[in-house]
Amino acid sequence: MGKNTVQAKQWLEKCYGDFAPSEITIKRWSADFKRGRRDTDDAERSGCSNEAVTPENIKKIRKIILNDRKVKLCELTDMVKISKERVGFILHEHLSIRKLCSEWVSRLLTVDQKQQRVDDSEQCLAMFKRNKPEFLRRYVTMDETWIHYFTPESKRSSSEWTATGEPRPKRPKAQ
């Protein structure tokens, strides 16, 4: 259009407002057109194309994840032979899967602890049957869930792929 970079910037700001390109971009475009460029199409870029996100690759990744939820991202890339970024894109955007680490888990009770609970419950039931109003007035109950922090492996290696909205995996501590 025969304008210099300052005039082009003013014209673009007038037309596009906040969405106008920066001054550096306008200077680069101007230099490209002075060197002989005549079109405004994007130039070819190096690197992988977006052809890696195919229904076949999505099915492969889903099958691998369902078989082994502890598989690592780098292992997935080796199995499917596509880039780490594309595998991540498929997991998050197409499969709605995220990686979670298990943290707090309930602890399994030993045989003795289970028997103690049964005995205590039977005693309470006997007291309840003898004098219902007095029992209900004096007895306080609460949840006695045992919570124990246990990391069976490193936090990173114990993480699993789960669907978005799916609860965290729970693993009881082995006794």
Q: What is the mean pLDDT of residues 57-68?
A: 89
Kindly tell me if the per-residue pLDDT of 53 is higher than 80: yes
pLDDT of residue 106: 45
Whole-angstrom Cα distance, residue 35 to residue 30? 9
Kindly tell me if the per-residue pLDDT of 93 is higher than 70: yes
Fill in the DSSP letter of residue 69: T
Q: What are all long-range contacts of 164-172, with beta carbons under 8 Å and residues at least 24 apart?
A: 164/96, 164/97, 164/98, 165/96, 168/100, 168/102, 168/103, 169/69, 169/100, 169/102, 170/102, 170/105, 170/106, 171/102, 171/105, 172/105, 172/106, 172/107, 172/108
Q: What is the mean pLDDT of residues 43-63?
A: 79
Mean per-residue pLDDT of the chain: 78
The bridge status of strand 104-106 relative to strand 147-149 is antiparallel
pLDDT of residue 20: 86
Q: What is the mean pLDDT of residues 40-61?
A: 77
Kindly tell me if the per-residue pLDDT of 76 is higher than 60: yes
Kindly tell me if the per-residue pLDDT of 16 is higher than 50: yes
Tens digit of each residue's pLDDT (9 = 90 or more) over 117-173: 889 889 988 988 998 888 888 776 655 555 555 445 555 666 677 777 777 766 655
Kindly tell me if the per-residue pLDDT of 9 is higher than 80: yes
